């Protein structure tokens, strides 16, 4: 991360990925599109922020998301069976979905540990050797008797899967949808 | 977009993994820069993966105490490391105790944090390791002391949340609700500050489970019940076992303690306590919100609408007095107020006007 815009993007936008994805899943009929929509939202936000940083990043993120969905519906790329297009009314709901929270280091570690445990066996083993035992990829390959290319491939896979859980951190241990992670005393009080 | 988002993500991961391989020249760096500069989509995909990968350096902390090459079983962390709940003690005695007994740990934490911050990235694990130590010392103080800082949980409108409490009990928070949980050696204290919550209490005779709702207090040992706040009204529904309701004094006179068996519903407010006995099935039905449903039985529309509005940000509004008197029955998904309005239009002399921020129901 080499500049202020990137840092801003990570700090103010990526932290809302779970809420964003949940919003997209709720509002958009095709689950397959969520990955693509997510990326396009990020692109729009990043490009707008390059011109001027939004004062209220989270509201801006969700406003951008609604506009994007509306645009796509207009362009007719999606045939919806829902009485679609009423994204404005979801606004309030979504805005409260996840109160901003900065995670403590211990919670970050917990989330990473869960992410690690969700990796496929080989991938998990390789990420463990690379990240926990801090072996260079070359040594990981030697240890496991596989090619360096194969290790690199597994690392790339691990990066994608870790990011998915780290940013998206799906619900906690099987509790129902809509479960929030523990935020403890930092939760904002709404009155 | 010429490339799909998944393809871009795969390419970004491939670049990152290659950079991580150590086999990385100036020419490679230049090629990566060119790749990134070609589109914002690549840039954000890369940034997103890079952020998570940098953070994953903290995983180093998990290796503490393990022989090298030993890959632990899945789920090992969640069972030990993290089950030491974040129960922080704040009263002076416990802080004094921490100081007396663990000065070195505290010093090490501060030191490790500063160093790790300075060293960044690769050394971030030090901070994580120090935090693991901090967690252990906190758990230790929790064991020894009674007063604990509560953990706060809340839900937004339209959300339910299941919470596993450290004593083995479970709580289900209804929409737009909040509880503070403080588990000490003497008492399991829950403060319902807003909304409604259902509790499945783990048996522990030595540690009563008390829910404070305003001035009322509901005490259980091992049972299942729900408590709800609506202004000054507190409603208690018991589905299993018995709970004790200690209601607030009325006009300065203390109220007798009420024992509520399974199936009963108690309504406590300024004018006293009203208990309605019923079957456990009736009681369960009043708590169908946990499964996503609201159940009405010959209920005035005004009351049904108020229930719906607990779960929806876009409220239903009664347009006239005639509509308010209509009676409704049935089982409805609380997440879909719009569908409810449609059903009403079909079944009752009601007309719904859908506005951006609300749905108004008029009689016709």
DSSP bridge partners of B197: B173, B227
Cα-based distances in Å from A151 to A135, B69, B280: 12, 16, 59
Collect all residues with Cβ–Cβ distance below 8 Å to B40 and sequence separation of at least 6.
Answer: A43, A46, A47
Q: Which residue has the higher pLDDT, A81 or A150?
A: A150
Q: Which residues of A touch B150 (CB under 8 A)?
A: 185
Q: Which residues of B touch A6 (CB under 8 A)?
A: 47
Predicted TM-score (pTM) of this structure: 0.47
Cα-based distances in Å from B110 to A47, A48, A103, B107: 39, 40, 19, 5
Collect all residues with Cβ–Cβ distance below 8 Å to A124 and sequence separation of at least 6.
Answer: A116, A117, A158, B71, B74
CA distance B13 to B285: 50
User: Chain-wide mean pLDDT for chain A?
Assistant: 76
Overall average pLDDT of the A50-60 stretch: 90
Q: How far apart are the first and last CA of chain A?
A: 38
Q: Is the pLDDT of residue A32 over 60?
A: yes
Overall average pLDDT of the B174-196 stretch: 90
CA distance B214 to B193: 7
Q: How much is the pLDDT for B94?
A: 37
Q: How much is the pLDDT for B248?
A: 72
Tokens representing B186 are 């003497």
**3 state SS for B318-342:** ECCHHHHHCEEEEEEECCCHHHHHH
Q: How much is the pLDDT for B149?
A: 63
**pLDDT bracket for residue B171 (50, 70, 90):** very high
Taking residue B137's Cβ as centre, other Cβ atoms within 10 Å add up to: 17
Which of A7-21, B72-86, B150-164, B210-224 is predicted least confidently? Answer: B72-86
Overall average pLDDT of the B340-355 stretch: 87
DSSP bridge partners of B244: B219, B259
Q: Is the pLDDT of residue A9 over 90?
A: yes
DSSP bridge partners of B238: B225
Q: How much is the pLDDT for A183?
A: 31
How far off is chain B from A102, nearest CA to CA, in Å?
Answer: 14
| Closest in A92, A130, A156 to B16, CB measured | A156
Q: Which residues of B touch A175 (CB under 8 A)?
A: 161-164
Of A26, A44, A120, A29, the C-alpha closest to A79 is A29
Q: How much is the pLDDT for B126?
A: 56
Q: Which residues of A touch B131 (CB under 8 A)?
A: 104-106, 109
User: Chain-wide mean pLDDT for chain B?
Assistant: 78
CA distance B10 to B46: 10
| Closest in A105, A113, A128 to B77, CB measured | A113
How far off is chain A from B357, nearest CA to CA, in Å?
Answer: 6
DSSP A13: I
Q: How many CB pairs under 8 A join A and B?
A: 216
Q: Is the pLDDT of residue B270 over 80?
A: no
Q: How much is the pLDDT for B247?
A: 77
Q: How much is the pLDDT for A48?
A: 94
CB atoms B20 and A155 under 8 Å: yes
Q: Is B328 in contact with B286 (CB distance < 8 Å)?
A: no
Tell me the percentage of chain A whose pLDDT exceeds 90. Answer: 41
Q: Is B61 in contact with B128 (CB distance < 8 Å)?
A: yes
Q: Which residue has the higher pLDDT, B185 or A174?
A: B185
| Closest in A83, A99, A105 to B128, CB measured | A105
Overall average pLDDT of the B89-100 stretch: 35
Q: Which residues of B touch A9 (CB under 8 A)?
A: 44, 47
Which of A107-121, A169-183, B186-200 is predicted least confidently? Answer: A169-183
Radius of gyration over alpha carbons of chain B, in Å? 28
Q: Is A65 in contact with A41 (CB distance < 8 Å)?
A: yes
Q: Is the pLDDT of residue A139 over 50?
A: yes
Q: How much is the pLDDT for A95?
A: 37
Collect all residues with Cβ–Cβ distance below 8 Å to A93 and sequence separation of at least 6.
Answer: B156, B157, B158, B312, B313, B314
Q: Is the pLDDT of residue A105 over 70?
A: no
Which of A55-59, B31-35, B270-274, B322-326 is predicted least confidently? Answer: B270-274
Q: Is the pLDDT of residue A35 over 90?
A: yes
Q: Is the pLDDT of residue B63 over 80?
A: no
Q: How much is the pLDDT for A78?
A: 45
Collect all residues with Cβ–Cβ distance below 8 Å to B80 and sequence separation of at least 6.
Answer: none
Strand B188-194 vs strand B209-213: parallel, antiparallel, or unpaired? parallel
Q: Is B177 in contact with B197 (CB distance < 8 Å)?
A: yes
Q: Is the pLDDT of residue B20 over 80?
A: yes
Q: Which of A17-31, A97-111, B34-48 is predicted most confidently?
A: B34-48
Q: Which of A81-85, B46-50, B277-281, B318-322 is predicted most confidently?
A: B46-50
How far off is chain B from A132, nearest CA to CA, in Å?
Answer: 4
**pLDDT bracket for residue B128 (50, 70, 90):** low
**pLDDT bracket for residue B81 (50, 70, 90):** low
Q: How much is the pLDDT for A101?
A: 46
Q: Which of A118-127, B263-272, B336-345 is predicted most confidently?
A: A118-127
Q: Which residue has the higher pLDDT, B254 or B130?
A: B254
Q: Which residue has the higher pLDDT, A25 or B61?
A: A25
| Closest in A46, A117, A155 to B75, CB measured | A117
State the sign of the Cα–Cα–Cα–Cα dihedral A145, A147, A153, A156: positive
Q: Is B87 in contact with B166 (CB distance < 8 Å)?
A: yes
Tell me the percentage of chain B whose pLDDT exceeds 90. Answer: 27
Burial of residue A40, with CB atoms counted within 10 A of its CB: 0-12 exposed, 13-18 middle, 19 or more buried: buried
Q: Which residue has the higher pLDDT, A75 or A140?
A: A140
Q: How much is the pLDDT for A160?
A: 96
Q: Is the pLDDT of residue B99 over 90?
A: no
Q: Is B196 in contact with B226 (CB distance < 8 Å)?
A: yes
Tokens representing B349 are 């002399």
**Dihedral (Cα; B122, B104, B64, A156), 10-degree rounding:** -20
| Closest in B40, B53, B154 to A187, CB measured | B154
Q: Is A12 in contact with A100 (CB distance < 8 Å)?
A: no
Tokens 């009990």 -> residue? B169
How many residues does this entry show for chain B? 364
Q: Is the pLDDT of residue B18 over 90?
A: yes
Q: How much is the pLDDT for A140?
A: 94
Q: Which residues of A touch B198 (CB under 8 A)?
A: none
């Amino acid at each position: 991360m080499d500049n202020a815009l990137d840092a801003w993007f990570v700090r103010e936008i990526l932290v809302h990925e779970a809420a964003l994805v949940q919003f997209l899943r709720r509002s958009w009929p095709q689950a397959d599109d969520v990955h693509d929509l997510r990326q396009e939202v990020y692109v729009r936000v990043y490009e707008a922020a390059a011109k001027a940083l939004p004062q209220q990043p989270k509201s801006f993120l969700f406003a951008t998301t609604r506009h994007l969905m509306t645009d796509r519906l207009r362009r007719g790329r999606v045939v919806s069976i829902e009485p679609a297009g009423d994204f404005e009314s979801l606004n309030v709901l979504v805005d409260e979905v996840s109160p901003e929270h900065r995670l403590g280091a211990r919670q970050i570690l917990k989330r990473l540990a869960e992410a690690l445990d969700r990796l496929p066996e080989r991938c998990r083993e390789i990420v463990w050797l690379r990240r926990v035992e801090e072996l260079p990829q070359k040594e990981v390959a030697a240890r496991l008797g596989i090619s360096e290319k194969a290790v690199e491939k597994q690392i790339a896979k691990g990066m994608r899967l870790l990011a998915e859980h780290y940013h998206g951190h799906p619900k906690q241990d099987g509790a129902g949808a809509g479960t929030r992670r523990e935020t403890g005393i930092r939760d904002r009080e709404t009155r | 977009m010429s490339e799909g988002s998944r393809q871009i993500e795969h390419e970004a991961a491939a670049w990152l993994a290659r950079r991580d391989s150590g086999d990385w020249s100036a020419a490679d760096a230049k090629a990566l820069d060119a790749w990134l500069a070609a589109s914002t989509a690549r840039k954000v995909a890369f940034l997103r993966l890079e952020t998570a990968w940098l953070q994953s350096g903290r995983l180093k902390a998990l290796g503490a105490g393990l022989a090298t090459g030993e890959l632990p079983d899945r789920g090992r962390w969640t069972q030990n490391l993290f089950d030491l709940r974040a129960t922080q003690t704040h009263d002076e005695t416990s802080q004094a105790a921490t100081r007396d007994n663990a000065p070195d740990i505290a010093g090490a934490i501060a030191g490790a944090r500063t160093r790790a911050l300075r060293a960044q990235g690769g050394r971030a694990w030090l901070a994580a390791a120090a935090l693991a130590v901090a967690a252990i010392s906190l758990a230790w103080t929790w064991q020894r002391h009674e007063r604990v800082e509560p953990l706060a949980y809340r839900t937004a409108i339209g959300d339910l949340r299941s919470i596993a409490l450290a004593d083995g009990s479970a709580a289900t928070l209804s929409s737009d609700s909040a509880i503070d949980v403080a588990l000490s050696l003497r008492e399991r204290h829950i403060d319902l500050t807003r909304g409604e919550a259902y509790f499945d209490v783990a048996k522990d005779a030595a540690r009563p489970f008390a829910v404070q709702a305003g001035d009322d207090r509901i005490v259980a040992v091992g049972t299942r019940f729900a408590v709800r706040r609506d202004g000054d009204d507190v409603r208690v529904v018991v589905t299993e076992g018995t709970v004790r309701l200690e209601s607030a004094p009325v006009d300065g006179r203390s109220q007798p303690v009420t024992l509520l068996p399974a199936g009963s519903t108690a309504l406590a407010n300024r004018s006293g306590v009203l208990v309605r006995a019923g079957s456990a099935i009736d009681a369960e039905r009043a708590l169908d919100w946990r499964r996503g449903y609201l159940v009405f039985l010959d209920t005035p529309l005004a009351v049904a609408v108020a229930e719906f509005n607990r779960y929806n940000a876009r409220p239903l509004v009664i347009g006239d007095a005639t509509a308010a008197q209509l009676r409704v029955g049935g089982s409805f998904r609380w997440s879909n107020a719009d569908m409810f309005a449609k059903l009403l239009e079909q079944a009752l002399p009601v007309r719904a006007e859908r506005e951006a921020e609300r749905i108004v129901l008029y009689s016709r």
